[in-house]
Chains A and B, each alone.
Chain A
Amino acid sequence: KNQVEQSPQSLIILEGKNCTLQCNYTVSPFSNLRWYKQDTGRGPVSLTIMTFSENTKSNGRYTATLDADTKQSSLHITASQLSDSASYICVVGGNAGGTSYGKLTFGQGTILTVHP
């Protein structure tokens, strides 16, 4: 069964500190891995998308890594800001008829709270 597990479930950090969120997956066949940020009451916003051949991808203060051999990914947030408080969702795409959308497996998310 395809699964995506994220850890920790929740995390509290102080503003300005760095943090790393983890994602382990058992999805086959693998197409890509995405990290989304979801603010309370809003739809998810894409942070990064990585395919099998990519190890690292950055988007501002967000850096995602992928180890396709161990089936692990991490999202590193540098110099956290209050606006980083949100749920971060790891999504792994399989392959279905030319698109990965039909075979997306979602993690439960990590709730990050940044305190001043």
Chain B
Amino acid sequence: KAGVTQTPRYLIKTRGQQVTLSCSPISGHRSVSWYQQTPGQGLQFLFEYFSETQRNKGNFPGRFSGRQFSNSRSEMNVSTLELGDSALYLCASSLTRTEETQYFGPGTRLLVL
């Protein structure tokens, strides 16, 4: 069974640009969550999607958005990039929204210059 996949793995952008990251969950998993990881702040929750609906959102500005498709694949978008957006963006999937193990992807490393 394939794990969570994220594309691209590495990305370099400049300030002001926008970026779209993609996440394909494990087959059959319907819940997808996104996290930002930086050396200073550690892991921080961005948002959770289930059945194409955003169920929860972390404390991030509106520049961060996402969506989930009918096949459970998810994308997140960051507009008007800032230097501080440089981070590892992790996606995690689980079967449902209940108390279950989340499986993380390898992440997308974004560098904003």
Which A residues form the contact surface with B (CB < 8 A)?
31-32, 41-46, 49, 51, 89, 91, 93, 96-104, 106-109
Contacts and interface: CB of A to CB of B under 8 A. Distances in A.
6 contacts: A49-B101, A91-B43, A96-B56, A98-B98, A102-B55, A102-B58
B102 A99 contact: no
A46 B102 contact: yes
Contacts of A45: 104
B43 A101 contact: no
A106 B46 CA distance: 12
Interface residues of B, number: 25
B56 A43 contact: no
A43 B107 contact: yes
Interface of B: 4, 31, 33, 42-45, 48, 55-58, 90, 92, 94, 97-99, 101-107
A1 B66 CA distance: 26
A43 B99 contact: no
Contacts of A91: 43
Among A91, A100, A101, which residue has the most Cβ atoms of chain B within 10 A?
A101
Contacts of A100: 99
A101 B101 contact: no
